[in-house]
Copies of this chain bind each other. A is one copy, B any other.
């Protein structure tokens, strides 16, 4: 893993390695943390479930395993800050992790469907959002609190949202949120709260800093001091994206045809319908081969072989989802001062040997 920050721990793999397998091995799965991993006494651990519920629950890990069905979901997690470095190249975005196309991975998550737990607690009146709070200690503005976020109740009650205690068939690793994390497929990674301590059903989205203020996008001309924070676009479902992983940026390629490989992902359960690659600045596009099978919650790896003349070439990828949304052309036009949701056409310049 390429370490971005040590404390809290943030790291990812070189993008070229992401396309090695449909399911990302744990040791290669990016880590995104807002606080150091907390020490949690698993014997004493109780997941608190309350708010607008008919009763409150305090569930031990044993109860979560024994009282509720276990389900596995193959799902991609992606940080809303994916490809922030390209935004920072337009205008620097400070105090944020400078991610390349690396904070994305696909795993088989095992755990309890969240809706089973919510049904056991009973959905109360006015329960419009499920808010999650972690047991970590984020420091922000001089206070310490658990990282948190929320999803609408319809999403919380969907079949795909898990309280996960396993990853790729292994016990969930500490860096990925052990002993228990939320996994919200199709949403920005920040909603998949790690080191989960409590769930609250409530009428409004979470008032946690990371829901109420961070993870919002603002128009390009807005800066922190001019932001109308309550009216920022509160992120939820991911937008459609793709990235070229191989060849890597700046790579010298010995021979043509060149095999170009990458990933594509669509948010909210939409499917990746098509990935296109251009070598002429977007004037014409070739259609890449989608690998594997369609899966509403998982990325789609793709590849294409291109005949390229010797010299320097800019390779561009763009994906289309099942709602016919595609990626914006120009990263400058979607720049935002927090550096989120850069799904502009992905561009990689390579050199083909003469």
Residues of chain A whose beta carbon lies under 8 Å from any beta carbon of chain B: 217, 219-221, 233-240, 267-268, 270, 273-274, 276, 282, 284-287, 320, 322-326, 328-330, 333-334, 340-341, 343
Is A326 touching B322 in the complex (CB atoms < 8 A)? no
> B287 to A219, Cβ gap below 8 A?
yes
A326 CB contacts on chain B under 8 angstroms: 239, 328, 334
Tell me the minimal C-beta distance from A251 to chain B in angstroms.
Answer: 26
Which 10 A-B pairs give the minimum distances between C-beta atoms?
A237-B323, A239-B324, A325-B325, A239-B325, A324-B341, A233-B273, A221-B284, A219-B285, A329-B329, A267-B323
Which residues from chain B contact A340 at a C-beta distance below 8 Å?
324
Residue in B236, B322, B333, B334 whose CB lies within 8 Å of A323: B236
A205 to chain B, nearest CB (A): 12
Asked whether B324 lies within 8 Å of A217 as measured between CB atoms, the reply is yes
Question: Can you list 15 A-B contacts (CB < 8 A)?
Answer: A219-B276, A219-B285, A219-B286, A220-B284, A221-B284, A233-B324, A236-B323, A237-B270, A238-B324, A240-B325, A267-B324, A268-B323, A324-B343, A328-B328, A329-B329
User: Known: A220-B285, A287-B219, A333-B282. Contact between A237 and B322, CB under 8 A?
Assistant: yes
Chain B nearest CB: distance from A344 CB in Å?
Answer: 10
Chain B residues with CB below 8 A from A274, complex form: 219, 233
CB of A327 to closest CB in B, whole Å: 8
Please classify the interface of chain A as helix (H, G, I), strand (E, B), loop, or mixed, using the class held by over half of its residues.
Answer: loop
- Nearest CB of chain B from residue A219's CB, rounded to whole Å: 5
B323 with A238: CB separation less than 8 A? yes
Min C-beta distance of A272 to chain B, whole Å: 11
Chain B residues in 8 Å Cβ range of A238 = 323-324
Q: Are B219 and A323 in contact (CB under 8 A)?
A: no
Question: Smallest distance from the beta carbon of A331 to chain B beta carbons, Å?
Answer: 11
Complex CA–CA separation, A66 to B341 (angstroms): 49
Residue of B nearest to A336 (CB): B324
Chain B residues with CB under 8 Å of A233's CB are 273-274, 320, 322, 324
Q: Which residues of B contact A323 (CB under 8 A)?
A: 236-239, 267-268, 325
Q: How far is the CB of A17 from chain B (nearest CB, A)?
A: 27
Q: Please, how many angstroms separate the alpha-carbon atoms of A34 and B328 in the complex?
A: 33
- Measured CB to CB, the closest approach of chain B to A143, in angstroms, equals 29
Give the chain B neighbours of A329 by CB distance below 8 A: 328-330, 333
A282 proximity list for chain B (CB < 8 A): 333
Docked-complex contact B237 and A324, CB < 8 angstroms: yes
**A225 → B minimal CB distance (Å):** 17
| Cβ-closest chain B residue relative to A219 | B285
Q: Which residue of B lies closest to A281 (CB)?
A: B333
User: Closest residue of chain B to A327, judged by CB?
Assistant: B328
